[in-house]
Amino acid sequence: MSGKNTAVWVNPMTSSPKWCRPIRIRYVKETAPVVQEEFRRMKMEISNLQPTFLDLQNNSISIQHRMLFTMADVKIMNIITSTPSNKHCYICRASTALFHNLSELQNMTPVDEEFLDFGLNKPRPGSANSNDGNTARRFFKNPRVASEITGVSEELITRLGNLLVAISCGKFLDAERFQRYAYKTAQLYVKKYGWYRMPPTLHKLLLHGHEVIQRSQFPIGHLSEEPQEALNKEILRMRRNHTRKCSRYI
């Protein structure tokens, strides 16, 4: 609209598992070459899409399609960005050994601006314990109790909880204020827990969150990986009920 970034229509149901569909399901081991091949294929499919033309009250509108590759987990992002290991940040390539050196990290720029389009992965508890979304929600809702139980600083829990709410809320965020708040949180983390290396997901949230917000044309909460995660149960069901269980050869 006159060369400006104006939202004509905003999807009210972004990241809803109900309105998302898998494009294709492949029963193949998730190796680096397979992931890269799928990524190239998706990019190619999107670039081959023809613009949609609309004629509204004698105004012809052309709609271009652009792919935002945000619905993938850290493992996939690392493969696509050729990050050497999961101990590195795929945006600035710093390793966990450097994550506590905040003043040096502030001067580091993203290796490729396009990597910021991948969005932020929400920190998630490991799979080998009983922590899930509900536990995490209760944990951050009661910072005082959570602090009493775990011994982790109440201020840090409160700040991290606020940041998680901010990136999930689906509203436009002020990148500068987010940067100030996140940087202070990173300083608090390093001051109190300098002995425990910051996980890469937390580093991305605290040090690169504002860059991702600045670059994104959408509220950051719209770019979640929720539908992809929700699809896991469907894949389990398909594997159980719609695959061959016996040998092709008798």
Least distance in angstroms from the C-beta of 62 to Zn ion: 37
Sequence-distant (6+) residues with CB within 8 A of 136 are: 124, 125
Residues engaged in binding Zn ion (CB under 5 A): 89, 91-92
Nearest to Zn ion of 72, 92 (CB atom): 92
β-pairing, 59-63 with 52-56?
antiparallel
Closest to Zn ion by CB, 71 or 89: 89
C-beta separation of 110 from 92 below 8 A: yes
Q: Which is closer to Zn ion, CB of 160 or CB of 206?
A: 206
Residue with Cβ nearer Zn ion (139 or 178):
178
38 or 100: CB nearest Zn ion: 100
Do the Cβ atoms of 231 and 72 come closer than 8 Å? no
Is 178 within 8 Å of 166 (Cβ atoms)? yes
Task: Provide, rounded to whole angstroms, the least separation between the CB of residue 210 and Zn ion.
Answer: 12
CB of 116 to Zn ion, least distance (A): 11
- Neighbour-count burial of 35, counting CB atoms closer than 10 A to its CB (0-12 exposed, 13-18 middle, 19+ buried): middle
- Report, in Å, the least distance between residue 230 CB and Zn ion: 28
Dist. CA 180–CA 176, nearest whole Å: 6
Residues 6+ apart with CB under 8 A from 109: 92
- In whole angstroms, the minimum distance from the beta carbon of 90 to Zn ion comes to 8
